[in-house]
Amino acid sequence: MNLVFEKYISDYSADLTRLCISLCGNVSDADDLFQDTWYKAIKNYGKYNFDMPFDKWLYSICVNTYKDSLRLFYNKRKMIFKTEEDKTEFLNSIPDSCPDNYDDYLQLHTAVNALPKKQKIVIVLYYFKDYSLNEISEILKIPIGTVKSRLNLAKSTLKRRLNNEEI
């Protein structure tokens, strides 16, 4: 393998793992998404535009692979966790999690995971990956107004869900 790509894998694997877990909601599917993303990145490296930061290119591959996987029949289930062990494994796999905030995190995670996929992706990229609205627009290849709209809708939905209001 190319030494440059080995450096990319070394530099971006941890962040890509967290993005995959945030999108998928369980470790098993996140592992598959992680593998598929790197496979596609290596396969399509010749198409990479060096004017774009590598992480944006990689995350757009990840998000598009995630969206494609949702279209497949076997991934159209609404279940977040198959077992209590899966939920515990997922929560324990998140770095920097504080046991004092476990219940709050679980409630937030459940609410984010229940969002429609377009809103969920924008929330994850904005709040969990710290991308700007412009960067999200570039990654998703959608107008910035659409990003703002999805973000506002997702925030209001989360606020209502977290305050136990009817949606």
User: Picking from 6-15, 34-43, 70-79, 119-128, which range would have the lowest pLDDT averaged per residue?
Assistant: 70-79
If you average pLDDT over residues 51-71, what whole number do you get? 86
Decide which of 34, 69, 95 is a domain's last residue.
95
In the structure encoding, which two tokens stand for residue 90, read together? 């997922």
Domain count of the chain?
2
Selection from 19-23, 59-63, 102-106, 162-166 with the highest mean pLDDT: 59-63
pLDDT for the residue 78: 46
The reply to whether 73 and 129 lie within a common domain is no
Which pTM does this prediction carry?
A: 0.59
Tokens 């991934």 found at:
75
Q: How confident is the model at residue 151 (pLDDT cuts 50, 70, 90)?
A: very high
Is 125 a residue whose pLDDT tops 90?
no
Token pair of 101, please?
Answer: 């905030």
Mean pLDDT (the chain) is 80
Whether residues 1 and 25 share a domain: the answer is yes
- Does 62 share its domain with 75? yes
CATH number at residue 123: 1.10.10.10
For residues 67 and 23, the answer to whether their CB atoms sit within 8 Å is: no
- Could you tell me if 101 and 71 lie in one domain? no
| Residue 108 and residue 88 share a domain | no
Same domain, yes or no: 52 and 85: yes
What's the rounded Cα separation, in Å, for the pair 65 and 22? 14
CATH code for the domain of 51: 1.10.1740.10
pLDDT tens per residue, range 35-56? 999 999 989 988 888 888 898 9
Same domain, 105 and 150: yes
In what helix (H) or strand (E) does residue 117 lie, and over which residues does it extend?
helix 117-123
Range of the domain at 152: 96-167
CA atoms of 89 and 85, how far apart (whole Å): 6
Instruction: Tell me the residue ranges of DSSP E strands in the chain.
Output: none
Same domain, 16 and 59: yes
Given a cut of 50, is residue 163 above it in pLDDT?
yes
Q: Clarify whether residues 89 and 155 are in a common domain.
A: no
pLDDT at 150 over 90: yes
Q: What b/e readout covers 38-56, taking b as 16+ CB neighbours within 10 angstroms?
A: bebbeeeeeeeeeeeebbe
Residue 106 shares a structural domain with residue 30: no
Q: What whole-number percentage of the chain has pLDDT above 90?
A: 20
